[in-house]
A and B are shown apart, each in its own frame.
Chain A
Amino acid sequence: MHDREMFMSIIDEALSSGGDFAEIFLEDRENNSINMVNDKLENAVSGRDQGAGIRVIDGLKSIYVYTNDTSKEGLAECAKKAAGAVGKVRIQQSSELVEVNVQNSHEVISAPSSVSNKKKVEVVRKAYARAKGYSGEIIQVSVGYVDSDQRIWIMNSEGYMAHDRRIRTRLYIQSVAGSGSENQTGFEGPGMSKGFEMFEEIDAEKHAEEASRTAVTMLNAKTCPAGRMPVVINNGFGGVIFHEACGHSLEATSVAKGNSVFSGKLGKKIASECVTAYDNGTIPNAWGSINIDDEGFKSCNNILIENGILKNFMIDRLNGKRMGMKPTGNSRRQSYRYAPTSRMTNTYIASGQSGREEIINSVNEGLYAKKMGGGSVNPATGEFNFAVAEGYLIRNGSIDKPVRGATLIGKGSDILMKIDMVGSEVKLGQGMCGSISGSVPTNVGQPILRVSEMTVGGR
């Protein structure tokens, strides 16, 4: 079915009524999920997503048409629809398609389809048992296992043709601790761009125990006092602060149209000098890694901020055109149902000079956010908010009692300036990031760091 001649004729059809660029994104993806809750392996769902999206770019205009019908007729119909929406006269011919060999940097040993359900179930049951057995206060545990095997083909009017395969595996553990009148939760979700061999590297049971430990700790925590105070944010998923508060505002999606607080700030100081940050899609087997992005550009290690100075944005083809800048290998989409746009991969603040103890000892009265929950941001204003999943008060330079219900709010541009101590050990945490091109796997990350002052919402 993946016939070069056919694709060329489809691309040609897409450009028949104008437009300077056309692209086909074809996807065939298998998904499996297994879920255990209430001591029962409750359900397993398998399925196959298959479809194609055709995009025509006419100047700065983007036309996107998708379908499940990937037959020649189905694709031709899509191309015709896209051309109809351009509605001008042909200005561009398509080029001969030449297949590019994609170098795979994320070796997979056990693809999901080669592993029996029994083995997958075993991991789930073990994690479940460990989380449930952690304490009598754990009243509910939910463990989910998901894997996906995505095959993509990208063809465009510049003659580019490539195929890639992306395999990912993830385990989710949610523990609920309850006292009858109150519930608190803990969550862990390790994932990698790997097959089942991920579990040789990741100790599922240890993560399960960790989820339960957080839930029990929070159940026995007092509510967090509100106010402005210094905040120490732990490494790993703590990096969600950078992801939400700054990362989204560095995506060309918001920068290109002048909607970001960082628009026009290249080369300017946007963060304190101790902040250096990267978006690196090339980390072998990392959750947010890709060989090529969903437009076919090679993934890169991009420096975003160097010692506080804004160095680059994350840029896709269309927004790059608007900005007069080169794409950075960041164009991503959830599936063929979405036109691609600039998104993060593995985005993190690089290691600094301070030690963990040194940072905590430096705070007289403040908050230690050991684990962060999710959050969101308004890219136009940079205003963000996110939940602290496990927090502690810091008193006289040491970690004191656990507190719950804390939220951190602020503006991305302010907080970047207020990061005044950065630790030395970077850790990454996995998440699914939702934006206009759907939900994509991303890593967030940072070393432990201190923000001199933040608004903490509590009770």
Chain B
Amino acid sequence: MDYKRFKYELFKAAQKQGFKEFELYYTSGGSLRAGVFKGELDTYDSNTSCGAGFRGKINGKMGYAYTEILDGRSVDMLVTRSKENAEITDEGDEEFIYMEKDTYKTINAYNPKLESIKPTDVIGKAMDMEKRAFECDSRVDNVRACSVSLYKGSTRISNSYGLDMEYTTNGVYGYAIPVVRSGEDVRTAVAYRVGRRYELIDPNAIADEAVERAISYLGAGSVDSGSYKAVICNEAAADMLDVYSGIFSAEKVQKGLSLLKGKLGEKVASGIVTIVDNPLMENGMCGGPFDCEGVATGTKEVVTCGVLNTYLYNLKTAHKDDVGSTGNAARGSYSSRVGTAPSNFYIKPGDIGYEELLGYMDDGLLITELEGLHSGANAVSGDFSLAAKGFLVKSGKMSSPVEQITIAGNIFELLKSVTKVGNDIKFGFPSPGGCFGSPSILIDKLSVAGR
């Protein structure tokens, strides 16, 4: 059945089961991806999919269930299972179904022009990108991945207080991972673009950038263990912010899983660090006018000049701290419960160019890639020990490439040791957990394990 009919049947059944308040969260969308290998279309994926998450309150406790088919059987399953699930949970911090009537901003997160792009065009672009990668340098041995994707997604929330909101977004992304070889020395690197304008996926620019990066790592070696001044480049810094964004979650704070607990109003970073969450950002790939509980979103500085202003709240955690929701309620998908997540989350850029930043550092390390972030970075303790790649910098100029090193430290100390912030902000790929951006940053002391 269609959404309207399904919602009607579901809400009727929910009332009958004794739910006092309830909500339907529905996402639908589709994507198209073309990947090429050695001049041929290699993978072509296309899909349309949807899912519906129901949550309802009985005796002050919320129960959850979800389905991927909107039919009569699902109506029964959703209300029965969510009731059972509500019954087994303990009374704790109360979850809410949003009853206010907010005014929502309109933001432009949908580009209708992407609708008219033909699959053959997407394939062509991926082909061009791979071709260019092979042509632009004789040391290109292979192209491990090369693809272009289009996607579109809608989110709709309806609740028993009459809320019914929908928001649609789309985007395009492309990336190439060439493998370059010089004798036995093999290197790879990735370059990508993600956005809402199709022209952004410039096959030549992406291929050139990826190949240039991979080649720059040829001949890389380790460095002596020790303490270094370091520039962490924009992409790597954004990855760090991504991994540690959970420390700003009110839920983590309230559960004692963030060391930012009790630090509101205190200095948690260097005075030149400002961290912003902007769900309404122009060209932002995450966010939207409302969060997944239906609360209107807004832009805020989470950290202003090093001082912690706020955590990221949903209705439940805000109620517990006796503040308003910051509009950061989020669900990983319709199958997950409501938690919190940032939207477009970034370190505010300064006014120093990248080269200038290296100049300020004079001698030190430029860190361009971090690996093992999901295992080597602990969001609870803040400790990290990560495999890294980059370059030695001498007198402000990039010299030899560096690999087989790890950088180690603690995020809370790292945030305090930022001495310069660049102007070259770049955002990574969007995910349900947010879209993270950062400029390159200069750190006065970084512990490096190498030789």
Contact = CB atoms under 8 A, between A and B. Distances in A.
Interface of A: 31, 34, 37-38, 40-51, 59-70, 81-82, 85, 117-118, 121, 139-140, 176, 178, 181-185, 223, 226-228, 257-259, 261, 337, 339, 373-376, 378, 380-381, 383-387, 404-407, 409-410, 455-459
A404 B89 CA distance: 36
Given A48-B67, A457-B406, A385 B256 contact: no
A43 B85 contact: yes
Q: Which 5 A-B residue pairings sit nearest by Cβ, starting from the closest?
A: A457-B406, A226-B449, A374-B375, A385-B387, A47-B66
A387 B44 contact: no
Contacts of B259: 181-183
B88 A117 contact: yes
B300 interface: no
Contacts of B337: 43, 45
B328 to A, nearest CB: 18
Given A67-B48, A183-B259, A386 B375 contact: yes
Contact of B381 (A64, A68, A183, A337): A183
B372 A407 contact: yes
Contacts of B69: 48, 50, 68-70
Contacts of A63: 43-46
Q: Which of B82, B187, B375, B408 has most A Cβ within 10 Å?
A: B375
Contacts of B405: 409, 457
Q: Is the interface of A mostly helix, strand, loop or mixed?
A: strand
Interface stretch (B57-65, B238-246, B349-357): B57-65
A60 B44 CA distance: 12
A380 B408 contact: no
B49 A67 contact: yes
A48 to B, nearest CB: 5
Contacts of A182: 259, 381
A184 B381 contact: yes
Contacts of B403: 383
Contacts of B382: 183
Interface in B4-41: 37, 40-41
B451 interface: yes
B90 A48 contact: no
B423 interface: no
A259 B142 contact: yes
A373 B336 CA distance: 25
Nearest to A381: B186
Interface string B155-188: 0000000000000000000000001000000111
Contacts of B417: none
A140 B47 contact: no
Nearest to B373: A376
B85 A259 contact: no
Given A183-B381, A459-B408, A41 B45 contact: no
B385 A48 contact: no
Nearest to A85: B44
A45 B336 contact: yes
A337 B49 contact: yes
Contacts of A46: 64-66, 81-82, 84-85
A121 B408 contact: no
Contacts of B92: 38, 40, 42
Contact of A386 (B41, B66, B376, B378): B376
Nearest to B178: A380
Given A50-B69, A60-B37, 10 more contacts: A40-B93, A43-B64, A45-B64, A373-B376, A383-B403, A383-B404, A385-B375, A386-B372, A387-B378, A407-B408
B50 interface: yes
B396 interface: no
A342 B408 CA distance: 34
B381 A226 contact: no
B371 A376 contact: yes
Nearest to A379: B144
Contacts, number: 231
B375 A48 contact: no
Interface residues of B, number: 76
10 contacts: A46-B82, A65-B46, A181-B259, A183-B380, A380-B142, A386-B372, A409-B404, A455-B449, A459-B385, A459-B409
Given A43-B64, A65-B47, A459 B81 contact: no
Nearest to A51: B68
Given A61-B44, A65-B47, A178-B256, A45 B225 contact: no
B264 interface: no
Contacts of A258: 142
A207 to B, nearest CB: 19
Contacts of A40: 89-93
A457 B88 contact: no
Q: Which of B62, B88, B142 has most A Cβ within 10 Å?
A: B88
A41 B89 contact: yes
A70 to B, nearest CB: 8
Nearest to A140: B256
Given A381-B188, A383-B371, A121 B88 contact: yes
B386 interface: yes
Nearest to A338: B45
A46 B64 CA distance: 7
Contacts of A60: 37, 40, 42
Contacts of A139: 256
Contacts of A176: 256-257, 380
Contacts of B119: 85
Contact of B37 (A257, A373, A381, A405): A257
A455 B404 contact: yes
A45 B333 CA distance: 12
Contacts of A183: 257, 259, 380-382
B406 A409 contact: yes
B310 interface: no
A185 B378 contact: yes
Contacts of A50: 67-69
A38 B447 CA distance: 35
Nearest to B336: A45
B2 to A, nearest CB: 12
Contact of A385 (B84, B386, B450): B386
A459 B49 contact: no
A376 B376 CA distance: 10
A390 B419 CA distance: 34
Nearest to B37: A257
A209 to B, nearest CB: 19
Interface in B409-451: 409, 447, 449-451
B65 A457 contact: no
Given A47-B66, A48-B68, A64 B44 contact: yes
B387 A67 contact: no
Nearest to B186: A381
A150 to B, nearest CB: 13
B43 A339 contact: yes
Contacts of B44: 61-64, 85
Nearest to A256: B37
B85 A459 contact: no
Contacts of B47: 65-67, 337
A91 B336 CA distance: 44
